Amino acid sequence: MVFPPNQQLPVAGLPRRHFLSHLAGMAALAGPASCFTRSLLANAADLKKRHKSAILLWMGGGPSTMDIWDLKPGQATGGPFKQISTSADGIAISEHMPLTAQQMHHLAIVRSMSTREADHQRGRYYMHTGFVPNPNVEHPSYGSVIAHELADAIEALEIPPFVSVGGGSVGSGFLGTAWDPFVVNADGRVRNLDMGIEPQRLAERLRMLAAVEDRFMGENRGALPGDHRKVVEKTVRLMTSSQLDAFKVAEEPAEVRERFGENNFGRGCLMARRLVEVGVPFVEVNLGGWDNHSDIFTTLADRKLPELDQAMSALVADLADRGLLDDTAIIWMGEFSRTPTINGNGGRDHWARSWSVVVGGAGFRRGVVVGETSTDGREVVSEPYSSQDLMASVLRALGIPLETSYRAKNGRPMKIANGGRVISELVA
């Protein structure tokens, strides 16, 4: 794609944007990169107002959902927590989640998750992809799939379509490095952004780089170099984007920052809201520390649940207030949950057979509970749901067709969400 010289850019007033004119004037990344130049020139104002997004609140380590969303008071397995009523009729959750309780009319609890992967690594992989780990193929995670499906609809997006705040995400698998998560810290500081040279000169350097890359890639060394080249294009787009401001949580008013919580998870949730506002289709915010093999109840009551409660409730309320919730799916989950039996160290161990996740927003039915576990919490007594069922439900809530299928690198067709069934009770 060639631009006439001296073409005026549609966006004015941002000094950084000057860079675009330099790039546009050259064919540095011509050929495979033409879409890159095109989107550089797209006007941010053209951003589709009603883009869909999803925010995954990832609870690394496996949170005890019996102590949060599906309490069993009075049972030997129940632990000491009481339940409280919520803004959703007939739904009660842990007493240590009072703020989120006020937002439950926006959310839905699935109490009938039943999975088989109770090892951290395997569980993290399975819950992120809908597939059990397989040495022969790497599957794309939620973020990569959703970014891949939705990014095209958001032409003017200049920052990566899959942002992971605090890491812990699973990558892009066979979709390729270009769909890997962009990992940032919760402080929102993206390292090494400053070019330190004139835009014109960077453009010239990129052209030199293109010559070196062309030669190497012409020698047929497999997919790796091509993936890297795509990432380089994305990086240039990111470096020069005014959308980078979305990462700057510190620019939010103090009152808002306090509402989300002045900690990494609070800042991460706030950043997620800001990123969704500029059109990022998938944001994952990581909160670790749920692997409570010992002393679980003090840890939950004093540290983990207050931190979760504050940020999660603020996020849901904020999205609702800004009219973003109807287009933004929220998913809360960990890799598994924890044993109903309380062990000798006052902790709970890994457990995948009967547990809960929470969803909300977008096309989800809200203010409901789906499924049920036995009185002691050891069994799902309604229809059990799997990771792929949950993933199918999330994709449906975002309007992504479930007939979509990919071809893995080995040529095998792969159904999106591993062919999971939509959880019908979650359909609004």
Partner 1 sequence: METEFGDRCLRVIGSSLPGVIFCMVACGFGGTLATSRAAPPVADSIVPQIAFINEQIEAVWDDSGLKPAAAASDGEWCRRVYLDLIGRIPTLAELEDYLKTRERNRATRLVDRLLGDDYATEYARHWANVWTTILIGRDTNNRMVDRDGMRLYLSESFKANVPYDRFVEELLTATGDNADREGAEQFNGATNFLSGKLADGGIQATAKTAQIFLGLQVQCTQCHNHPFNSGVKQNQFWELNAFFRQARGLRRFDGGRRVAWVELVDEDFAGQGGNPSEAEIYYELRNGLVKVAYPVFIDGTEIPRSGLLPGQLPDGEPYGINRRKELARLVVSSPLLPKAIVNRLWAHFLGYGFTKPIDDFGDHNRPTHPVLLDGLAERLQQYSYDLKSLMRWIVLSKPYSLSSRIEAGNKPDAPQLGEPPRFARFYPRQMQAEQLYESLLTATQADQGDAAEAARQRDRWLSQFVIAFGTDEGDDSTTFNGSIPQVLMLFNGELIKTATKLDRGGFLSDVASGPLRNRDKINVLYLAALARRPSAVELQEANRLLLARKGEAAEALQDVWWALLNSNEFILNH
Residues 276-315 that bind partner 1 (CB under 8 A): 286-291, 293-294
Selected range binding partner 1 among 42-50, 114-122, 147-155, 418-426, rule: CB under 8 A = 114-122
List the one residue from 38, 116, 303, 322 that touches partner 1 (CB under 8 A): 116
User: Of 140, 161, 181, 266, which lies in the binding site for partner 1, with binding defined by CB under 8 A?
Assistant: 181
* Interacting positions 200-229 with partner 1 (CB under 8 A): 201, 204-209, 211-217, 219-225, 227-229
Q: Which stretch binds partner 1 (CB under 8 A): 13-21, 49-57, 307-315, 407-415?
A: 407-415
One residue of 183, 244, 301, 381 binding partner 1 per CB under 8 A: 183
| Closer to partner 1 by Cβ: residue 163 or 324 | 163
Under a CB-based contact definition with an 8 Å cutoff, are residues 303 and 271 in contact?
Answer: no
Number of residues this chain uses to bind partner 1 (CB under 8 A): 80
By the rule CB under 8 A, 409 interacts with partner 1: yes
Can you read off the two tokens belonging to residue 408? 């893995």
Rounded CA-CA distance 29/198 in Å is: 18
For the CB of residue 60, give the shortest distance to partner 1 in the complex, in Å: 4
Determine which residue in the list 102, 177, 263, 299 makes contact with partner 1, applying CB under 8 A: 177
The torsion angles phi and psi of 360, rounded to 5 degrees, stand at -175, 175
Work out the number of other CB atoms within 10 angstroms of the CB of residue 253: 8
Nearest to 261 by CA among 313, 297, 298: 313
User: Which residue of 18, 22, 25, 119 would you call a contact of partner 1, by CB under 8 A?
Assistant: 119
| Rounded distance between C-alpha atoms, residue 56 and residue 391, angstroms | 11
Assess 118 for contact with partner 1 (CB under 8 A).
Answer: yes
Q: Which of 4, 192, 253, 413 forms a contact with partner 1 (CB under 8 A)?
A: 192
As a whole number of angstroms, the distance between CA 339 and CA 342 comes to 7
Calpha distance 366→104 (Å, rounded): 8
The answer to whether 81 and 94 are in contact (CB under 8 A) is yes
Compare residues 74 and 222 and give the one whose CB is closer to partner 1. Answer: 222
Q: Which residues are paired to 407 by β-bridges?
A: 413
Residues 305-364 that bind partner 1 (CB under 8 A): 339, 341, 343-345, 349-350
One character per residue 144-173, x = contact with partner 1 (rule: CB under 8 A): ----------------x-----xxx--x--
Contact with partner 1 (CB under 8 A) among 42, 195, 301, 317: 195
**Is residue 61 near partner 1 by the rule CB under 8 A?**
yes
In the bound complex, what is the minimum distance in angstroms from residue 211's beta carbon to partner 1?
4
At residue 286, φ and ψ (nearest 5 deg) are -100, 130
Helix (H, G, I), strand (E, B) or coil at 276: helix
Assess contact for 50 and 279: CB atoms under 8 A.
Answer: no
Is 380 strand, coil or helix? strand
User: Distance from first CA to last CA of the chain, Å, rounded?
Assistant: 44
CA–CA gap between residue 370 and residue 356 (Å, rounded): 9
- Taking CB under 8 A as the binding criterion, the range among 83-91, 141-149, 305-313, 403-411 that sits at the site for partner 1 is 403-411
